[in-house]
Structure 1
Amino acid sequence: MTVPGHRRADEIGAGSRRRILDAAEELFAERGFDRTSFADVARRSGISRGSIPWHFQNKNGLVMAVAERAVRRIWPAGRYRSAPSLTEVFAETAQPAEDGNSALVFMILVEALDDRGVVHEHYKEFIRRRYEGIEVLLRARRPADADPGGAAERERAAAVALNGALIGIHLQALVDPETVDMDAALIALASMFERNTADVWSG
Protein backbone atom coordinates (compact mmCIF):
# COMPACT_ATOMS: atom_id res chain seq x y z
CA MET A 1 0.00 0.00 0.00
CA THR A 2 1.38 3.40 -0.98
CA VAL A 3 1.69 6.29 1.46
CA PRO A 4 -1.37 8.60 1.07
CA GLY A 5 -0.73 11.36 -1.43
CA HIS A 6 2.03 9.41 -3.16
CA ARG A 7 1.99 7.40 -6.34
CA ARG A 8 4.19 4.30 -6.66
CA ALA A 9 5.90 5.99 -9.62
CA ASP A 10 6.95 8.82 -7.28
CA GLU A 11 8.67 6.32 -4.96
CA ILE A 12 11.09 4.59 -7.31
CA GLY A 13 13.37 7.47 -8.30
CA ALA A 14 16.79 8.51 -7.03
CA GLY A 15 15.26 10.97 -4.56
CA SER A 16 13.19 8.27 -2.92
CA ARG A 17 16.20 5.95 -2.73
CA ARG A 18 18.16 8.71 -0.98
CA ARG A 19 15.34 9.30 1.52
CA ILE A 20 15.21 5.59 2.33
CA LEU A 21 18.98 5.46 2.85
CA ASP A 22 18.92 8.58 5.04
CA ALA A 23 16.16 7.12 7.20
CA ALA A 24 17.85 3.73 7.44
CA GLU A 25 21.15 5.33 8.48
CA GLU A 26 19.45 7.23 11.28
CA LEU A 27 17.55 4.18 12.49
CA PHE A 28 20.51 1.80 12.28
CA ALA A 29 22.61 4.26 14.31
CA GLU A 30 19.83 4.66 16.89
CA ARG A 31 18.61 1.06 17.19
CA GLY A 32 20.96 -1.28 15.37
CA PHE A 33 20.25 -3.46 12.38
CA ASP A 34 18.26 -6.19 14.10
CA ARG A 35 15.78 -3.81 15.75
CA THR A 36 15.05 -1.82 12.58
CA SER A 37 12.35 -3.05 10.21
CA PHE A 38 11.19 -1.99 6.76
CA ALA A 39 8.09 -0.59 8.48
CA ASP A 40 10.30 1.63 10.67
CA VAL A 41 12.23 2.86 7.62
CA ALA A 42 8.96 3.52 5.77
CA ARG A 43 7.61 5.66 8.61
CA ARG A 44 10.85 7.65 8.96
CA SER A 45 11.35 8.18 5.21
CA GLY A 46 7.75 8.74 4.17
CA ILE A 47 8.16 6.08 1.48
CA SER A 48 5.72 3.17 1.53
CA ARG A 49 7.00 -0.13 2.90
CA GLY A 50 6.11 -1.87 -0.35
CA SER A 51 8.40 0.42 -2.35
CA ILE A 52 11.54 -0.26 -0.31
CA PRO A 53 12.17 -3.75 -1.77
CA TRP A 54 11.97 -2.22 -5.27
CA HIS A 55 15.13 -0.28 -4.41
CA PHE A 56 16.96 -2.78 -2.19
CA GLN A 57 15.25 -6.17 -2.64
CA ASN A 58 15.50 -7.12 1.05
CA LYS A 59 16.89 -5.94 4.39
CA ASN A 60 20.35 -7.33 3.66
CA GLY A 61 20.42 -5.28 0.47
CA LEU A 62 19.47 -2.16 2.42
CA VAL A 63 22.15 -2.80 5.06
CA MET A 64 24.79 -3.25 2.35
CA ALA A 65 23.72 -0.07 0.57
CA VAL A 66 23.94 1.92 3.82
CA ALA A 67 27.39 0.47 4.56
CA GLU A 68 28.69 1.23 1.06
CA ARG A 69 27.45 4.82 1.15
CA ALA A 70 28.89 5.41 4.63
CA VAL A 71 32.31 4.16 3.57
CA ARG A 72 32.34 6.29 0.43
CA ARG A 73 31.19 9.43 2.23
CA ILE A 74 33.26 9.26 5.40
CA TRP A 75 36.50 8.03 3.79
CA PRO A 76 36.38 8.85 0.07
CA ALA A 77 38.99 7.22 -2.12
CA GLY A 78 42.10 9.34 -2.55
CA ARG A 79 41.41 11.55 0.49
CA TYR A 80 44.82 10.97 2.01
CA ARG A 81 46.64 11.77 -1.20
CA SER A 82 45.24 15.31 -1.08
CA ALA A 83 45.79 15.92 2.64
CA PRO A 84 49.01 17.60 3.78
CA SER A 85 49.13 16.10 7.28
CA LEU A 86 47.77 13.47 9.64
CA THR A 87 46.56 16.28 11.90
CA GLU A 88 44.21 17.53 9.18
CA VAL A 89 42.95 14.06 8.30
CA PHE A 90 42.41 13.00 11.92
CA ALA A 91 40.64 16.25 12.77
CA GLU A 92 38.19 15.56 9.95
CA THR A 93 37.24 12.19 11.43
CA ALA A 94 35.64 13.95 14.40
CA GLN A 95 33.02 15.55 12.18
CA PRO A 96 30.93 12.45 11.36
CA ALA A 97 30.15 11.95 15.07
CA GLU A 98 28.17 15.18 15.07
CA ASP A 99 25.52 13.84 12.68
CA GLY A 100 25.37 10.25 13.92
CA ASN A 101 27.72 8.75 11.35
CA SER A 102 30.21 7.67 14.00
CA ALA A 103 27.50 5.61 15.70
CA LEU A 104 26.55 4.19 12.32
CA VAL A 105 30.12 3.14 11.59
CA PHE A 106 30.27 1.23 14.87
CA MET A 107 26.95 -0.44 14.19
CA ILE A 108 28.48 -1.56 10.91
CA LEU A 109 31.55 -2.76 12.84
CA VAL A 110 29.40 -4.93 15.11
CA GLU A 111 27.73 -6.48 12.06
CA ALA A 112 31.12 -6.95 10.36
CA LEU A 113 32.55 -8.97 13.27
CA ASP A 114 30.50 -11.89 11.97
CA ASP A 115 32.41 -13.00 8.88
CA ARG A 116 29.13 -14.35 7.53
CA GLY A 117 27.46 -10.95 7.93
CA VAL A 118 26.35 -9.01 4.88
CA VAL A 119 28.63 -6.03 5.56
CA HIS A 120 31.77 -7.94 6.53
CA GLU A 121 33.59 -7.31 3.24
CA HIS A 122 32.49 -3.67 3.07
CA TYR A 123 33.79 -2.89 6.54
CA LYS A 124 37.04 -4.68 5.74
CA GLU A 125 37.35 -2.36 2.75
CA PHE A 126 36.69 0.60 5.06
CA ILE A 127 39.47 -0.49 7.43
CA ARG A 128 41.91 -1.13 4.60
CA ARG A 129 41.18 2.22 2.99
CA ARG A 130 42.00 4.00 6.23
CA TYR A 131 45.31 2.33 6.98
CA GLU A 132 46.41 2.30 3.34
CA GLY A 133 45.70 6.03 3.28
CA ILE A 134 47.80 6.56 6.38
CA GLU A 135 50.58 4.60 4.68
CA VAL A 136 50.47 7.11 1.81
CA LEU A 137 51.12 9.97 4.24
CA LEU A 138 53.90 8.05 5.97
CA ARG A 139 55.56 7.14 2.69
CA ALA A 140 55.75 10.83 1.80
CA ARG A 141 57.81 11.35 4.97
CA ARG A 142 60.09 8.36 4.47
CA PRO A 143 63.80 9.30 4.81
CA ALA A 144 65.76 9.05 1.59
CA ASP A 145 68.25 6.64 3.16
CA ALA A 146 65.61 4.22 4.52
CA ASP A 147 65.62 0.64 3.27
CA PRO A 148 62.50 0.42 1.05
CA GLY A 149 61.54 -3.10 2.15
CA GLY A 150 61.93 -2.51 5.86
CA ALA A 151 60.37 0.93 5.64
CA ALA A 152 57.25 -0.47 3.97
CA GLU A 153 56.80 -3.03 6.75
CA ARG A 154 57.20 -0.38 9.44
CA GLU A 155 54.79 1.97 7.67
CA ARG A 156 52.15 -0.76 7.49
CA ALA A 157 52.55 -1.59 11.18
CA ALA A 158 52.37 2.10 12.16
CA ALA A 159 49.30 2.65 9.96
CA VAL A 160 47.48 -0.32 11.51
CA ALA A 161 48.35 0.94 15.02
CA LEU A 162 47.14 4.45 14.22
CA ASN A 163 43.95 3.13 12.70
CA GLY A 164 43.33 1.09 15.85
CA ALA A 165 43.83 4.22 17.95
CA LEU A 166 41.33 6.09 15.78
CA ILE A 167 38.73 3.36 16.26
CA GLY A 168 39.37 3.31 20.00
CA ILE A 169 38.95 7.07 20.37
CA HIS A 170 35.67 7.01 18.45
CA LEU A 171 34.42 4.11 20.59
CA GLN A 172 35.27 5.91 23.82
CA ALA A 173 33.46 9.02 22.61
CA LEU A 174 30.37 6.98 21.80
CA VAL A 175 30.36 5.27 25.20
CA ASP A 176 31.21 8.34 27.29
CA PRO A 177 30.55 11.49 25.23
CA GLU A 178 30.33 13.72 28.33
CA THR A 179 33.94 12.98 29.27
CA VAL A 180 35.72 12.32 25.98
CA ASP A 181 36.53 15.33 23.81
CA MET A 182 36.97 13.45 20.54
CA ASP A 183 38.21 16.47 18.56
CA ALA A 184 40.95 17.14 21.10
CA ALA A 185 41.90 13.46 21.39
CA LEU A 186 42.20 12.97 17.64
CA ILE A 187 44.26 16.12 17.18
CA ALA A 188 46.50 15.10 20.11
CA LEU A 189 47.05 11.65 18.57
CA ALA A 190 47.98 13.14 15.21
CA SER A 191 50.23 15.77 16.78
CA MET A 192 52.10 13.21 18.87
CA PHE A 193 52.65 11.03 15.85
CA GLU A 194 53.68 13.92 13.61
CA ARG A 195 56.36 14.87 16.16
CA ASN A 196 57.70 11.31 16.25
CA THR A 197 57.41 10.04 12.69
CA ALA A 198 61.17 9.34 12.59
CA ASP A 199 60.53 6.48 15.04
CA VAL A 200 58.68 4.58 12.29
CA TRP A 201 61.93 4.00 10.40
CA SER A 202 64.39 3.80 13.31
CA GLY A 203 65.74 0.64 14.89
Structure 2
Amino acid sequence: MTPPGRRRIDEIGEESRRRILDAAEELFAERGFDRTSFVDIAERSGISRGSIPWHFKNKDGLVLAVIERAINRLIPAGHYRSVPPLAELFDDASALARSGNSALILSMSAEAIRGTGAVRTQYQEFYARRRAGLEDWLRARRPKDVDPDEAAQRERTFAVALNGLLMGIHFQAVVDPANVDLDASLRSIAELIDKNLADLYA
Protein backbone atom coordinates (compact mmCIF):
# COMPACT_ATOMS: atom_id res chain seq x y z
CA MET A 1 0.00 0.00 0.00
CA THR A 2 1.27 3.48 -0.86
CA PRO A 3 2.08 5.50 2.29
CA PRO A 4 -0.03 8.65 2.91
CA GLY A 5 1.28 11.66 1.02
CA ARG A 6 3.04 9.58 -1.64
CA ARG A 7 1.73 8.89 -5.10
CA ARG A 8 2.06 5.53 -6.81
CA ILE A 9 3.68 7.24 -9.79
CA ASP A 10 6.43 8.57 -7.50
CA GLU A 11 7.13 5.06 -6.24
CA ILE A 12 7.27 3.75 -9.80
CA GLY A 13 9.69 6.55 -10.72
CA GLU A 14 11.97 5.77 -7.79
CA GLU A 15 11.93 2.05 -8.60
CA SER A 16 12.81 2.78 -12.24
CA ARG A 17 15.64 5.05 -11.15
CA ARG A 18 17.00 2.38 -8.79
CA ARG A 19 16.88 -0.31 -11.48
CA ILE A 20 18.66 1.94 -13.97
CA LEU A 21 21.37 2.75 -11.41
CA ASP A 22 21.79 -0.93 -10.49
CA ALA A 23 22.17 -1.91 -14.15
CA ALA A 24 24.53 0.97 -14.94
CA GLU A 25 26.68 0.18 -11.90
CA GLU A 26 27.02 -3.46 -12.96
CA LEU A 27 27.79 -2.61 -16.58
CA PHE A 28 30.27 0.17 -15.81
CA ALA A 29 32.15 -2.25 -13.56
CA GLU A 30 32.04 -5.05 -16.17
CA ARG A 31 32.70 -3.10 -19.37
CA GLY A 32 33.79 0.40 -18.40
CA PHE A 33 32.09 3.72 -19.00
CA ASP A 34 32.96 4.12 -22.69
CA ARG A 35 31.74 0.66 -23.74
CA THR A 36 28.36 0.91 -22.01
CA SER A 37 25.43 2.40 -23.90
CA PHE A 38 21.92 3.42 -22.90
CA VAL A 39 20.70 0.43 -24.94
CA ASP A 40 22.83 -1.91 -22.78
CA ILE A 41 21.51 -0.33 -19.60
CA ALA A 42 17.91 -0.50 -20.82
CA GLU A 43 18.25 -4.21 -21.64
CA ARG A 44 19.86 -5.00 -18.27
CA SER A 45 17.41 -2.94 -16.21
CA GLY A 46 14.23 -3.79 -18.11
CA ILE A 47 13.46 -0.06 -18.30
CA SER A 48 12.90 1.68 -21.64
CA ARG A 49 15.88 3.51 -23.13
CA GLY A 50 13.89 6.76 -23.23
CA SER A 51 13.44 6.69 -19.45
CA ILE A 52 17.18 6.98 -18.81
CA PRO A 53 17.65 10.58 -20.03
CA TRP A 54 14.35 11.48 -18.40
CA HIS A 55 15.84 10.50 -15.02
CA PHE A 56 19.47 11.53 -15.57
CA LYS A 57 19.53 13.94 -18.57
CA ASN A 58 22.59 12.38 -20.20
CA LYS A 59 25.32 9.79 -19.71
CA ASP A 60 27.44 12.12 -17.58
CA GLY A 61 24.49 12.65 -15.26
CA LEU A 62 24.00 8.90 -14.98
CA VAL A 63 27.70 8.30 -14.25
CA LEU A 64 27.64 10.97 -11.56
CA ALA A 65 24.57 9.41 -9.92
CA VAL A 66 26.15 5.92 -9.99
CA ILE A 67 29.40 7.12 -8.39
CA GLU A 68 27.65 9.32 -5.84
CA ARG A 69 25.47 6.42 -4.72
CA ALA A 70 28.41 4.00 -4.57
CA ILE A 71 30.57 6.37 -2.52
CA ASN A 72 27.80 7.44 -0.15
CA ARG A 73 26.93 3.79 0.44
CA LEU A 74 30.45 3.26 1.77
CA ILE A 75 31.26 6.58 3.42
CA PRO A 76 28.15 8.77 3.73
CA ALA A 77 28.49 12.53 4.07
CA GLY A 78 28.96 13.33 7.76
CA HIS A 79 30.36 9.87 8.46
CA TYR A 80 33.43 11.33 10.17
CA ARG A 81 31.76 14.11 12.16
CA SER A 82 32.79 12.32 15.35
CA VAL A 83 36.39 11.20 15.76
CA PRO A 84 36.46 7.51 14.81
CA PRO A 85 38.94 5.00 16.17
CA LEU A 86 41.71 4.05 13.76
CA ALA A 87 40.18 0.58 13.47
CA GLU A 88 37.00 2.12 12.04
CA LEU A 89 38.96 4.06 9.44
CA PHE A 90 40.71 0.88 8.40
CA ASP A 91 37.42 -1.03 8.43
CA ASP A 92 36.16 1.52 5.89
CA ALA A 93 39.17 0.82 3.69
CA SER A 94 38.59 -2.92 4.01
CA ALA A 95 34.87 -2.56 3.24
CA LEU A 96 35.66 -0.53 0.15
CA ALA A 97 38.15 -3.09 -1.16
CA ARG A 98 35.71 -5.96 -0.54
CA SER A 99 32.56 -4.28 -1.78
CA GLY A 100 30.82 -4.85 -5.05
CA ASN A 101 31.53 -1.19 -5.81
CA SER A 102 35.28 -1.64 -5.51
CA ALA A 103 36.07 -2.36 -9.14
CA LEU A 104 33.59 0.30 -10.23
CA ILE A 105 35.21 3.01 -8.12
CA LEU A 106 38.67 2.08 -9.38
CA SER A 107 37.65 1.85 -13.03
CA MET A 108 35.73 5.13 -12.92
CA SER A 109 38.67 6.90 -11.30
CA ALA A 110 40.15 7.07 -14.80
CA GLU A 111 37.20 9.25 -15.78
CA ALA A 112 37.92 11.49 -12.78
CA ILE A 113 41.57 11.79 -13.82
CA ARG A 114 40.73 12.65 -17.45
CA GLY A 115 37.85 14.97 -16.71
CA THR A 116 37.36 18.27 -14.94
CA GLY A 117 33.63 18.08 -14.23
CA ALA A 118 31.26 16.55 -11.73
CA VAL A 119 32.84 13.08 -11.65
CA ARG A 120 36.20 14.57 -10.69
CA THR A 121 34.47 16.65 -8.01
CA GLN A 122 32.84 13.51 -6.57
CA TYR A 123 36.22 11.81 -6.26
CA GLN A 124 37.78 14.90 -4.72
CA GLU A 125 35.02 14.96 -2.10
CA PHE A 126 35.35 11.24 -1.46
CA TYR A 127 39.09 11.41 -0.80
CA ALA A 128 38.67 14.64 1.17
CA ARG A 129 36.30 12.81 3.54
CA ARG A 130 38.83 10.06 4.08
CA ARG A 131 41.66 12.53 4.69
CA ALA A 132 39.48 14.54 7.05
CA GLY A 133 38.72 11.42 9.08
CA LEU A 134 42.43 10.65 9.38
CA GLU A 135 43.24 14.24 10.34
CA ASP A 136 40.52 14.20 13.03
CA TRP A 137 41.94 10.98 14.42
CA LEU A 138 45.44 12.46 14.59
CA ARG A 139 44.23 15.76 16.06
CA ALA A 140 42.50 13.94 18.89
CA ARG A 141 45.85 12.35 19.81
CA ARG A 142 48.01 15.43 19.28
CA PRO A 143 50.37 16.21 22.19
CA LYS A 144 49.38 19.34 24.06
CA ASP A 145 52.85 20.89 23.96
CA VAL A 146 53.22 21.17 20.14
CA ASP A 147 52.62 24.19 17.94
CA PRO A 148 49.06 23.74 16.63
CA ASP A 149 49.73 25.24 13.18
CA GLU A 150 52.81 23.11 12.59
CA ALA A 151 51.01 20.05 13.92
CA ALA A 152 48.03 20.66 11.62
CA GLN A 153 50.31 20.85 8.60
CA ARG A 154 52.01 17.59 9.53
CA GLU A 155 48.62 15.93 10.08
CA ARG A 156 47.41 17.03 6.63
CA THR A 157 50.55 15.68 4.99
CA PHE A 158 50.36 12.41 6.92
CA ALA A 159 46.67 11.99 6.00
CA VAL A 160 47.53 12.34 2.30
CA ALA A 161 50.34 9.77 2.60
CA LEU A 162 48.22 7.31 4.56
CA ASN A 163 45.30 7.68 2.20
CA GLY A 164 47.70 6.91 -0.64
CA LEU A 165 48.79 3.72 1.12
CA LEU A 166 45.18 2.66 1.59
CA MET A 167 44.40 3.38 -2.08
CA GLY A 168 47.43 1.34 -3.17
CA ILE A 169 46.42 -1.63 -1.04
CA HIS A 170 42.86 -1.32 -2.33
CA PHE A 171 44.06 -1.42 -5.94
CA GLN A 172 46.33 -4.42 -5.37
CA ALA A 173 43.59 -6.31 -3.51
CA VAL A 174 41.23 -5.86 -6.47
CA VAL A 175 43.77 -6.59 -9.22
CA ASP A 176 45.68 -9.44 -7.53
CA PRO A 177 43.54 -10.75 -4.65
CA ALA A 178 45.25 -14.16 -4.53
CA ASN A 179 48.56 -12.55 -3.56
CA VAL A 180 47.34 -9.73 -1.31
CA ASP A 181 46.29 -10.38 2.28
CA LEU A 182 44.09 -7.34 2.75
CA ASP A 183 43.58 -7.64 6.51
CA ALA A 184 47.25 -8.38 7.23
CA SER A 185 48.31 -5.41 5.10
CA LEU A 186 45.97 -3.06 6.93
CA ARG A 187 47.12 -4.40 10.30
CA SER A 188 50.72 -3.81 9.28
CA ILE A 189 50.02 -0.14 8.58
CA ALA A 190 48.11 0.22 11.86
CA GLU A 191 51.03 -1.27 13.80
CA LEU A 192 53.49 1.11 12.13
CA ILE A 193 51.30 4.07 13.04
CA ASP A 194 50.97 2.94 16.66
CA LYS A 195 54.74 2.53 16.96
CA ASN A 196 55.73 5.76 15.25
CA LEU A 197 52.94 8.23 15.95
CA ALA A 198 55.03 10.20 18.44
CA ASP A 199 57.64 10.81 15.70
CA LEU A 200 55.07 12.77 13.71
CA TYR A 201 55.27 15.59 16.24
CA ALA A 202 58.97 15.29 17.15
- Tell me whether the two structures share a fold, i.e. TM-score over 0.5: yes
Q: Closer, same or farther in 2 for the Cα pair 1:201/1:106, shift >3 Å?
A: same
Kept in 1: contact 2:20–2:42 (CA 8 A): yes
**Given the alignment of the two structures, is residue 103 of structure 1 paired with residue 103 of structure 2, yes or no?**
yes
Stretches (4+) displaced over 6 A: none
CA distance in 2, matches of 1:85, 1:146: 22
> Matched residue pairs, number?
194
Superimposed CA distance per residue, residues 23-61 of structure 1 (whole angstroms, 9 cap, x where no aligned partner): 111111111110111111112222121111111011111
Structure 2 match to 1:163: 163
CA 1:32–1:117 in structure 2 vs 1: closer, same or farther (change >3 Å)?
farther
Are the equivalent residues in 1 in contact too, given 2:112–2:123 (CA < 8 A)? yes
> For 2:167 and 2:17, how far apart are their aligned partners in 1?
30
Task: Return the letter of the residue paired with 1:178.
Answer: A
Structure 1 counterpart of 2:22 = 22
Counterpart Cα distance in 2 of 1:166 and 1:19: 31
Give, in whole Å, the separation in 1 of the partners of 2:81 and 2:158: 17
* Residue of structure 2 equivalent to 1:189: 189
Which position in structure 1 is the counterpart of 2:60?
60
> What is the distance in 2 between the residues matched to 1:47 and 1:115?
29
Q: Which amino acid aligns with 2:171?
A: L
Shifted more, 89-98 versus 141-150: the winner is 89-98
Structure 1 residues not aligned, in runs of 5+ = 1-8
Identity %: 61
User: Using the alignment, how far apart are the partners of 1:26 and 1:97 within structure 2?
Assistant: 16
TM-aligned CA deviation for residue 192 of structure 1: 2.1
TM-score under structure 2 normalisation?
0.88
Q: What are the superposed Cα offsets for residues 172-202 of structure 1, whole Å, 9 maximum, x if unpaired?
A: 1122111112222123222321332212211
Kindly report which structure 2 residues correspond to 1:118-129, keeping only aligned pairs within 5 A, or say none: 118-129=118-129
Pairwise CA distance, 1:117? 5.0
CA–CA separation in structure 2 for the residues paired with 1:94 and 1:148: 31
Q: 1:100 Cα shift?
A: 2.2
Deviation readout 1:60-102 (Å, 9 max, x if unpaired): 1100111211222222223234454212221232223334211
Query: Is 1:51 matched with 2:51?
Result: yes
Whether the 8 Å CA contact 1:80–1:137 is kept in 2: the answer is: no
Give the structure-1-normalised TM-score. 0.87
Please name the residue that 1:37 is paired with: 37
1:80 alignment partner in structure 2: 80
Task: Write out aligned runs for 1:131-150 (5 A).
Answer: 131-150=131-150
In structure 2, how many angstroms separate the alpha carbons of the residues matched to 1:189 and 1:50? 49
Code of the aligned partner of 1:32: G
Unaligned runs of 5+ in 2: 1-8
Q: Does the CA-based 8 Å contact 1:86-1:194 persist in structure 2?
A: no
1:97 maps to a residue whose letter is A
In 2, are the aligned partners of 1:131 and 1:156 still within 8 Å (CA)? yes
AA of the residue aligned to 2:34: D
